[in-house]
């Protein structure tokens, strides 16, 4: 008989074609679907390079992205392991193949084992081989050549069950894995090797022969049983003068004699070789499918149970009573990969911005902004409501939900306000870590800010003491004479400066005297400097200082001041940046003052922006924590609410929205929710979140939640009695008082109307107190719905945690379901004048009759417009205690005037801020500040925070 040739080339081509069609179909449904293989090759052996070229070509034909990473044969094992670790951490890579052999100084076992199990498409890793060897094991990948052997048998119609199979060779790459696969297919398997006696007689009994022994023509035809099936895996080169290369490829089987006895046989070449490549592609696609399938699987947050106590203990006692999940578990539950998490201990971590790239094709989750009514001394519980709402959504309604909140400053933590972790059974834990250093972001802001402050003083000092030539030579020093081959070049900061001043030369030696002066001399007018030093402490005695009083400063004194760190423009830059590079560019644009010639001077002109970005490099990554019920919280940025947006960062919102989102082709999946808090009331924090933050981020909210309490609304009644700290509340607030409440609801109605003006659905959260009556709650609900709210829902999350906010959460879900983002509109156009934009905010949001600019304010606006900064969003800095600029005007006053006494510039952050009141940017401490109660116990536990 003459054996039928098993055409591996044709079978492999057909498989590759099916893979290409499969990928095309999946990509038609999801643009993000892109299987990717990386081949790692060490050295340049010609035989390895041939195999690599085959794999690259086959991958291209199958529409699989395939990259080749080559390394010199002298690379150390440690360096190669580091490169593999990077590929393991790259979510866009689905398969990693280390092309064997590797140089002798590198352990093949160590390197192949270093490939992550889920990317080990060659199937050589310990886990995959171990699972394959187990009976009933479940390897993620089967090694490509053994898998190709089995598919060849299957495609050729060979029955394996019950047959005698002989495998010649016991290598970990072919022989051993093939034997496991044949055994698992119910064949009776014999493995022969170099020490096996009587191989021909053993082969003679085989129905199936797999030859992988590495000896050309080893198996003879007369060894074979009549009608046996022969699969030749051998790849041996023998001399052949008829070939251009002087050699030809043959297998382990003497093909001519074997073909006379066997029923089917694979040729060499053209048998198993093409199948090995096809199986590699199949493994890559399977890996990609597994990855994308995992991304589509519904994520599940495992809530922590609460043990509620009555009365509710202190916030720190409640926090201490709960054992938080390890932060890696929190991250895993919401779909953050291990390499995207940078833990800071067990309960907090930073999340890298790689998540945004990995999930860029996802549709965002639902976006909810929480604001409040005009603040009162009684407190509205906005942070507590934010946390309670998310606990209800995630822990009780099984939705993916994030609370996004600001990082609190240590100023108020140790001052009079206390922490900002929420309260009762709706707070971020551990609350002491939340309220203190966290991961050091505020310290990084402080360092970057003060570096720029020092750079300003230093630049003015040296400019005053040097002529243009020496100043230029020190800024752009020529190379030392000992290095004549080194060229003088402009560093990156200098190239940016040259571009800004309109000099297009790139050789430092070609600038003329006028250009040298233009480049090197900033000529800062000290009277125009707006940049101050900062620290994160309430220190009233730094509101005005004089610098430069040491004799070494040669009389270069200047009056300036400190701000609190969260009032730094660096903090606003952090909050509004859309990426690390965007943050770097914003820092470059920060304007610190004006030159004597009237030009703006930036941090980039001074050359400090790059170093500032380096100090803030890690701060740009949002911080992950959890609530009392184990639901995720992003804590990031803490911009001062009076003179900035007073909201957490754009990046935290974007990260959370992607993690809470759904795949583009998954119409059945339920979106999650991101609940982000805005500073103060809607008309300050909410308005800025929409006009400044959303304008910067491009995000549009689905719903706005306005938090109110019955007693806080009563304080907006015109006849409300004053509240004295430390004394019992008047009965006016604690007893049922329907008339006072109706009068005070005008404030709530104004905030609802303002929010509705942006085209966004509004839900009112009635934060309940035990003194509230049902009649009072119904009045608030009626007034809110009349003003345009979708609903007004009481919630008792302070005392009950998420359970007490389930009705509120359902109301928010319903509002989000009805949202139409096409209805969203911003309050003003940036093409209008600064005066018009401020008028729009003051009249439409606050209810003012007119706006008056001081001479100083108008002069500054004219300067900004002249300098090209006239088309920025507006932030009006005023009291938070009234819709007006007068803290004594409660409710919803009308007919008043908003006085604009000054307008300042925050170009890096991207807005102008107009001062309508005396805003202290570094608070003072009271007689009995909060730090008096803070201490540590014998075990090092922090006590006394509130």
The pLDDT score that the predictor gives to residue 417 is: 61
- In the sheet that holds 264-265, the strands lie side by side as 4-5, 264-265, 229-232, 208-211, 164-168, 188-192
Contact present, 472 and 509 (Cβ < 8 Å): no
User: Is 427 annotated in the active site?
Assistant: no
Contact present, 215 and 252 (Cβ < 8 Å): yes
pLDDT digits (tens, 9 = 90+) for 10-51: 999 999 999 999 999 999 888 889 999 999 999 887 667 777
Q: Which three-class secondary structure string do you get for 568-607?
A: CHHHHHHHHCCCHHHHHHHHHHCEEEEECCCCEEEHHHHC
The pLDDT score that the predictor gives to residue 946 is: 62
Contact present, 834 and 864 (Cβ < 8 Å): yes
Contact present, 753 and 786 (Cβ < 8 Å): no
Query: What DSSP assignment string belongs to 39-60?
Result: EEEES--HHHHHHHHHHHHHHH
Phi, psi of 12 (to 5 degrees): -65, -40
Task: Pick the catalytic residue from 41, 118, 119, 122.
Answer: 122
Phi, psi of 431 (to 5 degrees): -70, -30
Burial of 499 (0-12, 13-18, 19+ CB in 10 A): exposed
CA 565 to chain centre: 24
626 DSSP assignment: E
DSSP H helices, 689-786, are 695-697, 710-714, 731-734, 738-756, 774-786
The pLDDT score that the predictor gives to residue 377 is: 86
Cross-strand pairs, 764: 706, 792
Ranges of residues in the chain whose predicted pLDDT is under 70: 1, 46-47, 411, 415-419, 927, 932-933, 944-946
Contact present, 405 and 420 (Cβ < 8 Å): yes
The pLDDT score that the predictor gives to residue 316 is: 87
User: Is 82 annotated in the active site?
Assistant: no
- Whole-number Cα distances in Å, 790 to 537, 545, 783, 786: 42, 51, 11, 9
Task: Pick the catalytic residue from 7, 55, 207, 382.
Answer: 55
344 dihedral zone (left: phi>0; alpha: psi -120 to 50; beta)? beta
CA distance 146 to 152: 10
* Integer Rg of the chain from CA: 35
788 DSSP assignment: T
CA 569 to chain centre: 22
CA distance 946 to 939: 19
CA distance 517 to 497: 12
Contact present, 403 and 631 (Cβ < 8 Å): yes
The pLDDT score that the predictor gives to residue 411 is: 65
- Those residues whose C-beta lies under 8 Å from the C-beta of residue 430, and which sit 6 or more positions away, are 319, 320, 324, 347
The pLDDT score that the predictor gives to residue 245 is: 77
User: Is 99 annotated in the active site?
Assistant: yes
CA distance 706 to 576: 23
CA distance 386 to 765: 10
Sign of the four-CA dihedral 710, 712, 713, 714 = positive
3-class secondary-structure state, position 482: coil
Strand (E) or helix (H) holding 479: none
Question: 550: how many CB neighbours lie within 10 A of its CB?
Answer: 9
The pLDDT score that the predictor gives to residue 357 is: 92
Contact present, 703 and 762 (Cβ < 8 Å): yes
Task: Pick the catalytic residue from 7, 41, 99, 410.
Answer: 99
The pLDDT score that the predictor gives to residue 47 is: 64
The pLDDT score that the predictor gives to residue 183 is: 95
């Amino acid at each position: 008989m003459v054996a039928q040739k098993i055409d591996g080339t044709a079978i492999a081509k057909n498989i590759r074609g099916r893979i290409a069609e499969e990928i095309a179909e999946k990509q038609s449904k999801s643009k993000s679907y892109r299987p990717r293989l990386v081949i790692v090759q060490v050295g340049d052996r010609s035989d390895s390079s041939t195999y690599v070229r085959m794999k690259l070509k086959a991958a291209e034909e199958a529409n699989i992205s395939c990259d080749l990473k080559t390394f010199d044969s002298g690379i150390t094992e440690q360096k190669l392991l580091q490169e593999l670790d990077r590929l393991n951490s790259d979510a866009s890579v689905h398969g990693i193949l280390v092309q064997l052999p590797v140089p002798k100084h590198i352990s093949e076992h160590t390197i192949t084992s270093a490939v992550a199990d889920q990317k080990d498409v060659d199937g050589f890793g310990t886990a995959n081989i171990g699972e394959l060897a187990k009976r009933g094991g479940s390897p993620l990948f089967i090694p490509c050549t053994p898998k190709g052997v089995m598919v060849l048998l299957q495609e050729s119609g060979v029955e394996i069950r019950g047959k005698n199979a002989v495998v010649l060779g016991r290598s970990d790459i072919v022989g051993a894995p093939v034997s496991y696969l044949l055994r698992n297919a119910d064949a009776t398997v014999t493995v022969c090797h170099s020490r096996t006696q009587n191989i021909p007689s053993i082969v003679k009994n085989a129905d199936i022969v797999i030859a992988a022994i590495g000896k050309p023509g080893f198996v003879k035809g007369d060894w074979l049983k009549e009608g046996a099936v022969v699969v030749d895996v051998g790849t041996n080169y023998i001399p052949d003068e008829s070939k251009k290369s002087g050699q030809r490829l043959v297998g382990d089987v003497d093909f001519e004699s074997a073909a006379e006895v066997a029923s089917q046989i694979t040729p060499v070449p053209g048998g198993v070789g093409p199948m090995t490549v096809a199986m590699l592609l199949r493994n890559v696609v399977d890996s990609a499918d597994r990855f994308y399938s995992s991304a589509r699987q519904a994520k599940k947050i495992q809530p922590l149970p609460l043990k509620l106590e009555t009365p509710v203990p202190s916030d720190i006692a409640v926090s201490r009573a709960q054992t938080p999940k390890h932060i890696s578990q929190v991250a895993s539950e919401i779909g953050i990969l291990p390499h995207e998490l940078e833990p800071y201990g067990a309960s907090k971590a930073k999340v890298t911005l790689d998540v945004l790239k990995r999930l860029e094709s996802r549709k965002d989750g639902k976006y909810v902004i929480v604001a409040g009514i005009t603040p009162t001394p009684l407190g509205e519980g906005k942070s507590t409501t934010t946390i309670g709402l998310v606990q209800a959504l995630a822990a009780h309604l099984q939705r993916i939900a994030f609370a996004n909140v600001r990082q609190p400053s240590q100023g108020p933590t140790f001052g009079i306000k206390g922490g900002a972790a929420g309260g009762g059974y709706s707070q971020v834990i551990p609350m002491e870590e939340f309220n203190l250093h966290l991961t050091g972001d505020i310290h990084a802001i402080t360092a970057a800010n003060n570096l720029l402050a020092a750079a300003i003083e230093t630049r003015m000092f040296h400019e005053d003491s040097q002529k243009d030539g020496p100043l230029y030579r020190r800024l752009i020093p020529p190379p030392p004479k000992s290095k004549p081959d080194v060229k003088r070049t402009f560093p990156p900061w200098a190239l940016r400066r040259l571009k800004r001043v309109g000099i297009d030369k790139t050789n430092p030696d070609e600038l003329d005297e006028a250009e040298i002066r233009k480049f090197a001399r900033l000529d800062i007018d000290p009277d125009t400097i707006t940049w101050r030093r900062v620290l994160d402490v309430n220190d009233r005695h730094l509101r005005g200082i004089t610098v430069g009083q040491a004799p070494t400063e040669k009389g270069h004194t200047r009056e300036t001041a400190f701000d609190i760190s969260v009032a730094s423009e660096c903090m606003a830059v952090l909050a509004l940046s859309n990426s690390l590079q965007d943050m770097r560019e914003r820092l470059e644009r920060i304007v610190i003052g004006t030159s004597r010639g009237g030009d703006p001077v930036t941090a980039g002109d001074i050359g400090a922006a790059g170093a500032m970005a380096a100090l803030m490099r890690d701060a740009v990554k949002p911080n992950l924590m959890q609530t009392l019920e184990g639901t995720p919280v992003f804590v990031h940025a803490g911009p001062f609410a009076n003179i900035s947006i007073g909201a957490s960062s754009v990046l935290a919102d974007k990260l959370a929205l992607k993690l809470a989102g759904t795949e583009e082709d998954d119409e059945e999946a339920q979106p999650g929710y991101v609940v982000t808090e805005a500073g103060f009331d809607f008309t300050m924090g909410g308005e800025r979140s929409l006009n400044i933050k959303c304008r910067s981020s491009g995000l549009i909210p689905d719903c706005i939640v306005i938090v109110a309490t019955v007693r806080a609304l009563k304080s907006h009644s015109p006849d409300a009695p004053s509240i004295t700290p430390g004394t019992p509340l008047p009965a006016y607030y604690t007893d049922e008082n329907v008339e006072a409440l109706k009068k005070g609801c005008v404030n709530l109605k104004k905030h609802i109307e303002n929010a509705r003006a942006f085209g966004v659905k509004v839900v009112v959260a009635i934060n309940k107190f035990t003194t509230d009556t049902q009649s009072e709650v119904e009045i608030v609900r009626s007034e809110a719905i009349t003003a345009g709210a979708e609903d007004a829902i009481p919630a008792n999350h302070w005392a009950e945690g998420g359970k007490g906010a389930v009705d509120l959460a359902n109301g928010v879900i319903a509002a989000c379901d009805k949202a139409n983002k096409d209805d969203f509109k911003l309050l003003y156009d940036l093409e209008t004048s600064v005066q018009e934009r401020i008028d729009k905010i003051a009249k439409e949001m606050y209810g003012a009759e007119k706006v008056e600019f001081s001479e100083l304010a108008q002069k500054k606006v004219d300067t900004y417009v002249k300098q090209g900064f006239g088309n920025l969003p507006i932030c009006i800095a005023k009291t938070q205690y009234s819709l007006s600029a007068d803290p004594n005007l409660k409710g919803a006053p009308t007919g008043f005037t908003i006085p604009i006494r000054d307008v300042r510039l925050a170009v890096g952050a991207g807005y102008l801020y107009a001062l309508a009141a005396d805003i202290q940017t570094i608070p003072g401490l009271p007689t009995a500040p909060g730090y008096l109660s803070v201490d540590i116990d014998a075990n090092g536990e922090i006590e006394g925070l509130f």
